[in-house]
Amino acid sequence: MLFNSLQFIFFFIVVTLAYFSLPHRGRIWLLLLASCYFYAVFKPIYILILFVTIVVDYFAGILIADATGKKRKWLLILSLITNIGFLAYFKYYNFLNTNLAIILSKFDTPTPFAFLDFALPIGLSFHTFQAMSYTIEVYRRNQKAEKDFIIYALYVMFYPQLVAGPIERPQNLLWQFHSYFKYDFGNLKEGLIRIAWGMFKKVVIADRLALMVDYCYDNPQDHNGLTLLIGTIFFTFQIYCDFSGYSDIAIGTARVMGFKLMENFDTPYFSTSISEFWRRWHISLSGWFRDYLYIPMGGNRVGEKRMYFNRFFVFMMSGLWHGAAWTFVIWGALHGLYLILAQIRDKYFKLKTSILPRFLSKPINLIFTFILVMLTWVFFRAKGLTNAKIILQKIFSFGNYGNTIHSPLNNVEMIFCWLLIAGLLLKEKFYKIIDTTNTPRFYLLFIVLMIVCYFFGVFESNQFIYFQF
């Protein structure tokens, strides 16, 4: 079910009203059944995948908690293989088979494996990583095994963050399902304004920018460098508003019922370095890779070369997590390379005194970081390496920019897009948190946001970008 749909609005109202009218156990059953329906709207058959992994991980958690010695490790491995196995089969099988076919074609040999024809289950990477974090934390003895099957199933299925995060840890979420939250008007205001702001970012900003982005990236060979540069800038803000908008709606939806989900974004485009960007962008995923891959590989506790390898490998895996294509791998690898080069610069070429005045240093670093991030988004969005190469070549061919911007938007709509981007940046710079303590102001702001969404929202590109992951 899409957050930006009338169906979800009715669903949210009915489920929330029913939630506050039930005792604690009834609430848990309600949320689990509602979450199953929420996911089944996309494609019912894929609930079976969730059911299998939930059963396996539930019993694995209990057995791991009671086991000793090597048995604990083997139980964890069994759980991880089940989760990664589903992810690999549905998300990476065709990708691996395609690359195998390319290699074998060099020897005039066809691939012996058939290609599969199915749609990727919505949000598979998200709920797989959340499920894996549970068994890993139980294995590390940081989390007690959950004995209540319904509550554990809800931990994986909780509808606000089921298909696109935030990727929660059991320590933050499981205890909340054991708690009874009374109706709180403060939570209602905080949650609704967060939903409204997230909806505004999605339907007014992201989906409006998408009109230009899709036009540019569908046929980059038909456009000049200036057009593609504008399309890339627009995509940089589209993906942020699309994904952070989803997180806002998820956090707000949960907050209305009393639950508190972790923050997933912290004004990432105000970062002054790539490392800072990754502390602010998709925080739940960055933390997941840090705690469950980077640190177990040795993290910063190993030699310098090994540390560089660890960082590069983790970011390549992050890219592959996002999508089964070399463009995503390159996107992740570039971010890993940025971090390594920055670390080498700081260690071997760090100037004792900055050559720039202090008041210029921060804005220049901010702009430089933004440009680096923006250029990597080309690989994230492009339909293949060939298109990415065309886009970058044209962007950097400054002499071929021309005087004409190709666009499906008229001049007024283009100006409106730039004003939306400027307004977004101003809001996040000066009003990062929307204050809801003043009730009349809350009502006014909520109503205004909803009216603006209705009259200025674009409802042609309804899917959230991160649903494909």
204 in Cβ contact with 461 (< 8 Å): no
**The token pair that represents 313 in the structure block:** 């490998």
Question: From first to last of its 469 residues, what are the pLDDT tens digits of the chain?
Answer: 888 888 999 999 999 999 999 999 999 999 999 999 999 988 888 899 899 999 999 999 999 999 988 899 999 999 999 999 999 999 998 888 989 888 988 888 888 888 888 778 888 999 999 999 999 999 999 999 999 999 999 999 999 999 887 999 999 999 999 999 999 999 999 999 999 999 999 999 999 999 999 999 999 999 999 999 999 999 999 999 999 999 999 999 999 999 999 999 999 999 999 999 999 999 999 999 999 999 999 988 998 899 999 999 999 999 999 999 999 999 999 999 999 999 888 877 765 556 667 778 888 999 999 999 999 999 999 999 999 999 999 999 876 676 778 889 899 999 999 999 999 999 999 988 888 889 999 999 999 999 999 999 888 766 788 777 6
244 in Cβ contact with 285 (< 8 Å): no
Report how far apart, in Å, the C-alpha atoms of 394 and of each of 224, 353, 403, 405, 453 are: 6, 37, 14, 13, 35
224 in Cβ contact with 406 (< 8 Å): yes
Task: State the burial class of residue 65 (Cβ atoms within 10 Å of its Cβ: 0-12, 13-18, 19+).
Answer: middle
The pLDDT of residue 461: 61
395 in Cβ contact with 235 (< 8 Å): no
439 residue type, one letter: T
Backbone angles phi, psi at 33, to 5 degrees: -65, -40
C-alpha count within 13 angstroms, C-beta hemisphere, residue 189: 16
The pLDDT of residue 464: 82
C-alpha count within 13 angstroms, C-beta hemisphere, residue 130: 29
Give the 3-state secondary structure of residue 460.
coil
- The 10 Å Cβ neighbour count of residue 233 is 19
Active-site positions? 322
CA-nearest of 156, 195, 160, 200 to 174 is 156
Which runs of consecutive H residues, i.e. helices, occur in 268-325? 274-280, 283-289, 304-322
Cα-trace Rg, the chain: 23
d(CA 401, CA 399): 6
11 in Cβ contact with 30 (< 8 Å): no
- The 10 Å Cβ neighbour count of residue 118 is 12
d(CA 364, CA 370): 10
87 in Cβ contact with 124 (< 8 Å): yes
d(CA 8, CA 42): 12
d(CA 103, CA 111): 9
- Residue identified by tokens 């054991």 is 178
341 in Cβ contact with 372 (< 8 Å): no
The pLDDT of residue 354: 60
22 in Cβ contact with 63 (< 8 Å): no
The pLDDT of residue 399: 67
Mutual orientation of helices 149-157 and 24-40 as an angle, nearest 10°?
40
**The token pair that represents 119 in the structure block:** 């749609």
d(CA 161, CA 157): 8
Ordered DSSP codes for 345-381: HHHHS--SS-SS-HHHHHHHHHHHHHHHHHHHHHHHH
**The token pair that represents 435 in the structure block:** 């204050």
C-alpha count within 13 angstroms, C-beta hemisphere, residue 148: 12
258 residue type, one letter: G
Backbone angles phi, psi at 222, to 5 degrees: -90, -5
- The 10 Å Cβ neighbour count of residue 105 is 11
Report how far apart, in Å, the C-alpha atoms of 112 and of each of 72, 100, 104, 108, 348 are: 37, 9, 10, 12, 50
**The token pair that represents 318 in the structure block:** 């992050």
Which runs of consecutive H residues, i.e. helices, occur in 178-224? 185-199, 207-218
| pTM flag (> 0.95) | no
**The token pair that represents 116 in the structure block:** 């599969």
The pLDDT of residue 355: 64
Give the 3-state secondary structure of residue 264.
coil
